[in-house]
Amino acid sequence: MKQRDGARGSRHERGYDARWTRLRDRFLRENPLCAECLRCNRDQVADVVDHIQPVRDFPDKRLLKSNLQALCVACHAGKTAMEQYAREIDLLDELPIWVADISARPLRFRPSGFR
């Protein structure tokens, strides 16, 4: 089990309760492949359900299926980096566009071959 990050709070304090667990499990059953890998023409099993618009910034969207995507661990790490960058440059509202359209992303977040 991961140690609690005091600044972030526990998973329950951040909204990851039994409702979230049921939704996550169902979402992964319905979406077994990584959405980002599929955008890049690869087949990879998804391990994580990601909030396209982060819960900490958009808590009202935490249980909306339209705000979710299934990702593999590697793609989730890349999406988290993209999210942090968007927050740093005050463009968090652009994140859903960057997620959906690889060509709209800053160059550093485009997979090789999509430059």
Cβ-contact 55, 98 below 8 angstroms: no
Q: What is the pLDDT along the chain (115 residues), one digit of tens a residue?
A: 444 455 666 665 555 789 999 999 999 999 999 999 999 999 999 999 999 999 999 999 999 999 999 999 999 999 999 999 999 999 999 999 999 999 999 999 998 877 6
CA 3 from chain centre, in angstroms, equals 21
pLDDT for res 7: 66
C-beta pairs of 20-28 under 8 Å, 24+ apart in sequence: 20/62, 20/63, 23/49, 23/63, 23/65, 23/68, 24/49, 27/65, 27/68, 27/70, 28/70
Q: What is the pTM of this model?
A: 0.85
As given in the structure block, the two tokens for residue 99 are: 């997620």
pLDDT recorded at residue 63? 96
The pLDDT of residue 114 is 72
pLDDT of residue 113: 75
Which pLDDT value is given to residue 112? 82
CA distances from 22 to 10, 17, 53, 84, 86 (A): 18, 9, 19, 27, 29
